[in-house]
Amino acid sequence: MTDAKGARPGARPLSPHLQVWRWHLTLACSILHRATGVFLYLGAIVGATWAFSLASGPDAYGLFLVIIGSLIGKLFLFGLTFSAFYHLANGIRHLAWDMGEGFEPKVADATAAAALAFGAAATLAVWVIAALTGGL
């Protein structure tokens, strides 16, 4: 085809966006993968801050512990725990897809539910262990 007839390149059909997709589990999991990735980006900055405060001495480390031990700090860490486990499990789905496995709708739905369940269960387990070992 040449440019002589038809639409200009700028007027090509656009890919469907969020507003026109029917919500379903695999869609939600895909969005959540990206959202938890962004959250883990912040978590990596906090992780580097942990090492930096430890290298800066007891006062700086004490301040870090106060902030991370506050209610907001704990909520952040709780979200970070879920983000890590969910992103990890859903990332394994992605690795399977890259090898051509798991695209059938029923399998994709089942692994999506499994990734969510693993994220929730592992997060609860870690926070129960933290509470039992005096980490809270």
1 binds other proteins (CB under 8 A): yes
SS3 73: helix
Write out the DSSP string of 15-63.
PP-GGGSPP-HHHHHHHHHHHHHHHHHHHHHHHHHHHHHHHH-HHHHHH
84 binds other proteins (CB under 8 A): yes
Residue with Cβ nearer other proteins (24 or 94): 94
Among 27, 28, 31, 51, binds other proteins (CB under 8 A): 51
CB of 43 to other proteins, least distance (A): 9
Residue with Cβ nearer other proteins (58 or 105): 58
Residue with Cβ nearer other proteins (76 or 106): 76
98 binds other proteins (CB under 8 A): yes
Residue with Cβ nearer other proteins (28 or 129): 129
Among 30, 78, 79, 92, binds other proteins (CB under 8 A): 92
Sign of torsion over alpha carbons 18, 22, 23, 26: negative
Write out the DSSP string of 83-98.
HHHHHHHHHHHHHHHH
